């Protein structure tokens, strides 16, 4: 009668079976504080963040946060990848871009203790749950940020997993996470890192990239870097007989310039729900739809991921450029709900 | 000072709590006056309170002992139930589409507090020498909110299975039609509470032992009318009291809208239970069977009134600083508990009266428990969802008693 039982108070839900609901939460900005700034190279820093409300910010390796900075009175948003393994305090690495307003601000002006808001985590450049086969990674420059997170997470989960990295930089001084990659090499015998420096070895072409990557038959391949490099790697791998389904790419899109948005309300008709919603001045199509309670898919909210792609059936929009839409997609009438707004009464297939 | 108090004096706090809760379990089981009722509840009470079945593992198997009533002739019309079914079909809502999940639930913003600071029993805690600073109060209020909503969610899971079982067992075809909509309702309620907890509060508490006992008892009892009485009248009444209290207190707009939708569904559920049971109790049960159901309902009503004392919060926050007995006293006297009891019994007592479970004999017991003031109130057949929401909003909880 007087047994004493171990008392469970709360239910452990590390990833949450409700991950399927995580995407809409991405629109909910969370306050964060910068708790540490680590200088990685002359032109790159890693920001470690803590949430203002003390609640966790669970993320998956390879995902990114959309950072909403207030710079000189204006809010600007940029997506930066999380560069630490799953389970660690969230940290994102930012590399200075020539003429980059936000990267300049982060690398030169942001201080420990700074507070701002983030959206996300978002993105599906992630490890496949349950998959234990070899991983082959190609990173170039700051494209290493999601890749290092994927590598460390995969190896912590399975220290015997075969993981290979081809990391392209202009020269050794530009190499991000050099110490972490060396530590991984020392600790995990099946992790292999091939550095490649374009200053001395030149840019590898498609055939050379396929030769360097040489994925095993059951390997998953992750590419992250400038668009031309990923296109070349994809072409080389496809020519070598690698199935497209095994290749994952994370696109990096330069910061978009905002177009002048209409100053009067405009009606948008959403065909799938049959709802007609009034877009308020300054709102994007996505913001108008979400405000009215429509379940529209989206992720980065800055035109970089394509999750919010919608097809226009009638009407005109203005779209912030550059963004991730291809020429074919544009020709077929697609736009990005997060970065576009209706200029005339609009009908969209969403 | 009672004999128990004298026994506990001087013992370490942990030992005090173990002895107190064991005696409390015994007292609860012994307080059930009707032996048949005590016997029917005993296995669930043993699993829940003594074995602590719900405190570990990923799932519990609850064997059902009911029969599915399969109709061969598709007769047995029940027009009022068919009306309810049509209404339920017309009023289905979509938890994903109809709620604004983009709302940022900020636990630190008092303007939109999930649980405002006038809800938790801070005065009662202070009277026992526990003072929380402003930050702790905020965190405590958010934990109480997560605990309360977690219990709603666990209750909805039970309601989902009970609704499915009742749909199998009920003899009227129109009842089966209606039951199918209730299964959908309960599934949706479970979905929205889980989603709210996972994505907004990010904390889920384990099921309370006493709630587990009631659900286990209902789901394993083979008699369809006891399942019906338990789920459609008692637990739905409990839910209306609890949801109504939270609906009144919360300032968080997403939760408020979510609870509004859920309460509107619950109004139909109770209406269905009342229709089915009035017919069954007046026509199909013997006087002895009616008497047993009366006693069972009375015992469950008292259990619901006295035993949802958020022990999980106690163990998380105050074990070692306060005795479990003192905690129970604080919670029983809290303003939120009095609001909960009021709203629960305001709906429950008239419904029991309407279905024929309020004989003069049992009325005397309810009178002793101070619950007869609700007799003669409106039952579920006389109330629309709007009436329910208005009554809930109109109720103002009295100040806490210390």
Domains of chain B with CATH codes: 40-53+79-394 (1.10.620.20)
Per-residue b or e along B167-184, where b marks 16 or more CB atoms closer than 10 Å to that residue's CB: bebbebbbbbbbbbbbbb
User: According to the model, what pLDDT value does residue B388 have?
Assistant: 77
Residue B31 has pLDDT above 70, yes or no: no
Cβ of B253 under 8 Å from any chain A Cβ? no
Looking at the DSSP bridge assignments, the partners of residue A223 are A138, A249
Rounded to whole angstroms, the Cα distance separating A249 from A251 reads 6
Residues of B in contact with A287 (CB under 8 A): none
Interface mutation target, options B58, B113, B202, B310, chain A, most CBs of A under 10 Å: B202
Which of these ranges, A49-53, B23-27, B172-176, has the smallest mean pLDDT? B23-27
Per-residue b or e along B42-73, where b marks 16 or more CB atoms closer than 10 Å to that residue's CB: eebbbbbbbebbbbeeeeeebebebeebeeee
> Cβ contact (<8 Å) for A3 and B51?
yes
> Cβ contact (<8 Å) for B103 and A24?
no
Rounded to whole angstroms, the Cα distance separating B78 from A180 reads 72
> Cβ contact (<8 Å) for B198 and A294?
no
Interface mutation target, options B19, B94, B102, B317, chain A, most CBs of A under 10 Å: B102
> What CATH fold (topology level) applies to the domain A266-349?
Ubiquitin-like (UB roll) (3.10.20)
Q: Å from B97 to nearest chain A CA?
A: 6
Q: Å from A92 to nearest chain B CA?
A: 22
Helix, strand or coil for residue B293? helix
pTM of the model: 0.59
Choosing among 1.20.1250.20, 2.40.30.10, 3.20.20.240, 2.40.70.10, the CATH entry for A21-122 is 2.40.30.10
> Cβ contact (<8 Å) for B199 and A10?
no
* Cβ under 8 Å to A: B residues 136-195: 194-195
User: According to the model, what pLDDT value does residue B228 have?
Assistant: 86
> Cβ contact (<8 Å) for B22 and A53?
no
Rounded to whole angstroms, the Cα distance separating B386 from B267 reads 9
> Cβ contact (<8 Å) for A21 and B198?
yes
Choosing among 3.40.50.740, 1.10.3470.10, 3.40.50.11540, 3.40.50.80, the CATH entry for A135-250 is 3.40.50.80
In sequence order, which residues have a C-beta less than 8 Å from that of residue A104 and are 6 or more positions away? A96, A97
User: According to the model, what pLDDT value does residue B237 have?
Assistant: 82
> Cβ contact (<8 Å) for A5 and B204?
no
Rounded to whole angstroms, the Cα distance separating B212 from B155 reads 9
Rounded to whole angstroms, the Cα distance separating A220 from B47 reads 48
How many beta carbons lie within 10 A of that of residue B37, not counting itself?
19
> Cβ contact (<8 Å) for B106 and A9?
no
Measured in residues, chain B has a length of: 402
> Cβ contact (<8 Å) for B194 and A18?
yes
Q: What six digits make up the tokens of B371?
A: 């619950």
Q: What six digits make up the tokens of A209?
A: 């990239």
Residues of A in contact with B26 (CB under 8 A): 1
User: According to the model, what pLDDT value does residue A1 have?
Assistant: 35
Residues of B in contact with A4 (CB under 8 A): 18
Give the DSSP H/E element, type plus range, for residue B269: helix B253-284
Residue B208 has pLDDT above 50, yes or no: yes
> Cβ contact (<8 Å) for A7 and B202?
no
How many beta carbons lie within 10 A of that of residue A124, not counting itself?
13
Q: Which of B22, B104, B204 sits opposite A28 (nearest CB)?
A: B104
Helix residue ranges per DSSP H, B197-252: 209-220, 224-228, 236-249
Q: Å from B38 to nearest chain A CA?
A: 17
pLDDT: which is higher, B310 or A238:
A238
Helix, strand or coil for residue A174? helix
How many degrees, rounded to 5, is the angle at CA B217 between CA B214 and CA B220? 145
* Listed residue (B318, B321, B298, B299) closest to B309, CA to CA: B318
Q: What six digits make up the tokens of A298?
A: 């989206």
Residue B50 has pLDDT above 80, yes or no: no
> Cβ contact (<8 Å) for B202 and A18?
no
Residues of B in contact with A10 (CB under 8 A): 203-206, 312, 316
Residues of B in contact with A275 (CB under 8 A): none
- One DSSP character per residue, B92-141 reads ---TTTSS-TT----TT-GGG-SS-TTSS-HHHHHHTT----HHHHHHHH
Asked if A52 and A30 touch (Cβ cutoff 8 Å), the reply is yes
Asked if A141 and A225 touch (Cβ cutoff 8 Å), the reply is yes
> Cβ contact (<8 Å) for A21 and B199?
yes
Asked if A132 and A217 touch (Cβ cutoff 8 Å), the reply is no
Q: Å from A27 to nearest chain B CA?
A: 6
Give the mean pLDDT of B334-345.
Answer: 82
Residues of B in contact with A17 (CB under 8 A): 198
Q: Which of A13, A273, A293 sits opposite B204 (nearest CB)?
A: A13
Rounded to whole angstroms, the Cα distance separating A241 from A221 reads 13
Rounded to whole angstroms, the Cα distance separating B336 from B329 reads 13
Q: Rounded to an integer, what is the distance from CA B218 to the centroid of its chain?
A: 13
Residue B92 has pLDDT above 70, yes or no: yes
Place of tokens 């079945």: B53
Helix, strand or coil for residue B229? helix
Q: Å from A301 to nearest chain B CA?
A: 13
Cβ of B26 under 8 Å from any chain A Cβ? yes
> Cβ contact (<8 Å) for B22 and A13?
no
Residues of B in contact with A286 (CB under 8 A): none
Q: Which of A1, A10, A293 sits opposite B22 (nearest CB)?
A: A1
Residues of A in contact with B102 (CB under 8 A): 24, 27-28, 290-291
Q: What is the 3-state secondary structure (H, E, C) of A297-343?
A: CCCCCCCCCCCCEEEEEECCEEECECCCCCHHHHHCCEEECCCEEEC
Residues of A in contact with B108 (CB under 8 A): 52-53
Q: pLDDT 10s digit of each residue in chain A, 350 long?
A: 334 445 788 887 655 555 566 544 445 678 899 999 999 999 999 999 998 877 778 888 999 998 999 888 777 888 899 999 998 999 999 999 888 889 999 999 999 999 999 988 888 889 987 788 999 999 999 999 999 999 999 999 899 999 999 999 999 998 999 999 999 999 999 999 999 999 999 999 999 999 999 999 999 999 999 889 999 999 999 999 999 999 999 876 666 676 777 777 889 999 988 899 988 877 889 988 887 778 788 877 888 878 889 999 999 999 988 888 888 889 999 999 989 999 999 999 98
Cβ of B135 under 8 Å from any chain A Cβ? no
Compute CA distances B367 → A52, A315, B333, B344, B360, whole Å: 51, 70, 20, 16, 10
- pLDDT tens sequence across B270-281: 889 899 899 899
Q: Å from B70 to nearest chain A CA?
A: 36
Asked if A134 and A218 touch (Cβ cutoff 8 Å), the reply is yes
Q: Which of B51, B108, B199 sits opposite A18 (nearest CB)?
A: B199
Q: What six digits make up the tokens of A260?
A: 């002048």
> Cβ contact (<8 Å) for A25 and B199?
yes
Helix, strand or coil for residue B48? helix
Place of tokens 């912590």: A156
How many beta carbons lie within 10 A of that of residue B30, not counting itself?
9
Residues of A in contact with B97 (CB under 8 A): 273, 293-295
How many beta carbons lie within 10 A of that of residue A174, not counting itself?
19
Domain edges within chain A: 21-122, 135-250, 266-349
Sheet containing strand A191-197, edge to edge, reads: A191-197, A163-169, A135-140, A220-224, A247-250
Interface mutation target, options A8, A32, A295, chain B, most CBs of B under 10 Å: A8
């Amino acid at each position: 009668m007087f047994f004493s039982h171990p008392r469970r108070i709360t239910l452990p839900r590390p990833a949450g079976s409700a991950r399927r609901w995580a995407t809409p939460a991405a629109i909910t900005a969370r306050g964060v504080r910068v708790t540490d700034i680590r200088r990685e190279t002359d032109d790159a820093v890693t920001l470690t963040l803590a949430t203002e409300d003390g609640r966790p910010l669970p993320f998956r390796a390879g995902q990114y946060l959309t950072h909403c900075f207030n710079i000189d009175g204006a809010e600007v948003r940029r997506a930066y990848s999380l560069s630490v393994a799953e389970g660690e305090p969230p940290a994102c690495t930012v590399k200075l871009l020539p003429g980059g307003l936000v990267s300049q601000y982060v690398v030169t002006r942001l201080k420990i203790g700074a507070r701002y808001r983030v959206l996300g985590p978002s993105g599906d450049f992630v490890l496949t749950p349950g998959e234990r086969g070899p991983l082959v990674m190609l990173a170039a420059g700051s494209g290493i940020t999601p890749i290092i997170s994927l590598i460390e997470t995969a190896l912590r989960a399975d220290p015997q997993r075969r993981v290979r990295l081809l990391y392209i930089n202009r020269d050794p001084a530009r190499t991000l996470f050099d110490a972490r990659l060396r530590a991984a090499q020392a600790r995990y015998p099946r992790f292999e890192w091939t550095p490649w420096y374009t200053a001395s070895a030149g840019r590898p072409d498609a055939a050379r990239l396929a030769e360097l990557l040489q994925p095993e038959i059951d390997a998953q391949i992750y590419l992250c870097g400038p668009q031309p490099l990923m296109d070349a790697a994809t072409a080389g791998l496809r020519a070598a007989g690698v199935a497209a389904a095994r290749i994952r790419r994370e696109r990096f899109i330069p910061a978009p310039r905002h177009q002048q948005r209409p100053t009067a309300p405009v009606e948008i008709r959403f065909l799938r729900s049959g709802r007609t919603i009034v877009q308020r001045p300054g709102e994007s199509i996505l913001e108008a739809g979400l405000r009215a309670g429509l379940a529209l898919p989206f992720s980065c909210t800055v035109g970089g991921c394509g999750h919010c792609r919608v097809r226009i059936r009638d009407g005109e929009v203005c779209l912030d450029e550059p963004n991730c839409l291809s020429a074919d997609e544009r020709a077929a009438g697609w736009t990005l709900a997060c970065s576009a707004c209706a200029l005339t009464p609009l009908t969209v297939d969403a | 000072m009672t004999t128990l108090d004298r026994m506990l004096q001087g013992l370490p706090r942990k030992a005090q709590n173990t002895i107190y809760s064991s005696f409390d379990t015994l007292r609860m089981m012994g307080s059930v006056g009707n032996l048949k009722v005590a016997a029917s509840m005993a296995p669930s009470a043993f699993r829940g309170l003594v074995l602590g079945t719900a405190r570990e593992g990923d799932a519990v198997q609850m064997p059902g002992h009911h029969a599915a009533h399969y109709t061969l002739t598709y007769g047995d019309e029940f027009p009022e139930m068919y009306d309810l079914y049509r209404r339920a079909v017309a009023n289905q809502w979509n938890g994903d589409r109809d709620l604004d999940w983009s709302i940022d639930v900020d636990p630190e913003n008092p303007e939109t507090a999930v649980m405002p600071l006038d809800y938790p029993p801070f005065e009662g805690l202070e009277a026992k020498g526990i003072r929380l600073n402003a930050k702790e109060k905020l965190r405590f209020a958010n934990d109480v909110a997560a605990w309360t909503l977690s219990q709603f969610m666990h209750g909805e899971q039970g309601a989902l299975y009970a609704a499915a079982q009742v749909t199998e067992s009920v003899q009227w075809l129109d009842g089966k039609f209606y039951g199918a909509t209730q299964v959908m309702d309960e599934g949706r309620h479970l979905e929205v509470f889980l989603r709210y907890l996972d994505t907004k509060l990010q904390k889920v508490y384990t099921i309370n032992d006493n709630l587990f006992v009631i659900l286990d008892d209902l789901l394993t009892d083979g008699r369809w009318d006891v399942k019906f009485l338990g789920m459609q009248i008692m637990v739905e009444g409990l839910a209306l009291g609890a949801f109504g209290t939270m609906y009144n207190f919360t300032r968080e707009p997403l939760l408020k809208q979510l609870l509004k939708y859920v309460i509107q569904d619950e109004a139909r559920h109770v209406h269905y239970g009342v229709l089915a049971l009035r017919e069954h109790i007046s026509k199909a049960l013997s006087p002895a069977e009616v008497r047993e159901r009366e006693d069972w309902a009375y015992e469950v009503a008292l259990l619901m009134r006295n035993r949802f004392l958020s022990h999980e919060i106690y163990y998380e926050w105050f074990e070692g600083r306060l005795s479990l007995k003192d905690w129970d006293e604080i919670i029983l006297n809290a303003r939120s508990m009095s609001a909960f009891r009021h709203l629960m019994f305001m709906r429950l007592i008239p419904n029991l009266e309407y279905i024929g479970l309020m004989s003069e004999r049992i009325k005397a017991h309810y009178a002793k428990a101070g619950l007869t003031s609700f007799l003669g109130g409106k039952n579920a057949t006389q109330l629309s969802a709007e009436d329910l929401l208005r009554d809930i909003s109109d109720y103002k909880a009295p100040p806490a008693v210390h």
